[in-house]
Amino acid sequence: MPNPTAAMLVIGDEILSGRTRDSNLHHLARELSGAGIDLREARVVGDRHRAIVLALRALSVTHDHVFTSGGIGPTHDDITADAVAEAMGVAISHNPEALARLEVHYRQQGRPFNEARRRMARIPDGATLIDNPISAAPGFTIGNVHVLAGVPTIFEAMLASVLPLLTGGTPLLSQTLQVNRGEGEVAEAFGRLAAEFPDLSMGSYPFAHQGAIGTNLVIRGTDRARLAEAMMRLTRLFG
């Protein structure tokens, strides 16, 4: 059976304006590879309702899972939950369990649980909450969409709690052979090898380090034996 597929939607003006460098995509990519879920596409959109809705609709019908990051805080630019509700065709309201968690959190902190903070309990109807062990405000899963916070420590904690609940596939394995030659000198034979192993993905990544150039030849796949066979052939060619 092929591995489940996934897409990511990064939400936030701060990424597209260059203020903030996204790190959640890279983290998600590594975690999904390990879980045997194929990340096929990622998109980044700003804090614009229509753009979020359209991207969510496009990604959720074409992938088994969609992970979003960003836009679930207490301020006016946090519009992800409303956009997710519209994209999934459900209503949105204050979730009693989310309200209860936030109330406890702010009481313990001695900070006011005001209207803005209550906003973080607005969750699409029918969603399941995702724990936030850092700042209480939960993420949520509705249908095949998993809505996580944008702050990397919270994104990572939420992903750690949602990922074990998903049915994964065979982890993506990867092996690398580093050669001291330019890409153009290994390309032909490497391409022939790749054509012989259509079930594996082979990529080449040139590098320059202290004046020396070289290429990392990477083979990825889910079948350990096939990967070993291809690596043996690769090593014979260029090792």
Residues that bind its own copies (CB under 8 A): 12-23, 25-26, 28-33, 39-47, 51, 73-77, 106, 111-112, 114-117, 119-120, 151, 172, 174, 182-188, 190-191, 194-195, 201-206, 218, 220
Compute the least distance from the CB of residue 52 to its own copies, in Å.
11
Compute the least distance from the CB of residue 164 to its own copies, in Å.
18
Compute the least distance from the CB of residue 96 to its own copies, in Å.
19
Compute the least distance from the CB of residue 130 to its own copies, in Å.
18
Question: Considering beta carbons, is residue 51 or 90 the nearer one to its own copies?
Answer: 51
Instruction: State the Cα–Cα distance between residues 72 and 136, nearest whole angstrom.
Output: 12
Question: Considering beta carbons, is residue 22 or 86 the nearer one to its own copies?
Answer: 22
Question: Considering beta carbons, is residue 40 or 129 the nearer one to its own copies?
Answer: 40
CA distances from 68 to 15, 188, 216 (A): 14, 39, 31
Question: Considering beta carbons, is residue 78 or 86 the nearer one to its own copies?
Answer: 78
Question: Considering beta carbons, is residue 220 or 226 the nearer one to its own copies?
Answer: 220
Listing DSSP states for the chain in one string gives: -PPPEEEEEEE-HHHHTTSS---HHHHHHHHHHHHT-EEEEEEEE-S-HHHHHHHHHHHHHHSSEEEEES--SSSTT--HHHHHHHHHT--EEE-HHHHHHHHHHHHHHT----HHHHGGGEEETT-EEE--TTT---EEEETTEEEE-SSHHHHHHHHHHHGGGS---SPPEEEEEEESS-HHHHHHHHHHHHHH-TTSEEEEEEEEETTEEEEEEEEEES-HHHHHHHHHHHHHHH-
Compute the least distance from the CB of residue 97 to its own copies, in Å.
19
Question: Considering beta carbons, is residue 28 or 53 the nearer one to its own copies?
Answer: 28
Compute the least distance from the CB of residue 176 to its own copies, in Å.
8
Instruction: State the Cα–Cα distance between residues 231 and 61, nearest whole angstrom.
Output: 36
Compute the least distance from the CB of residue 153 to its own copies, in Å.
8
Question: Considering beta carbons, is residue 8 or 142 the nearer one to its own copies?
Answer: 8
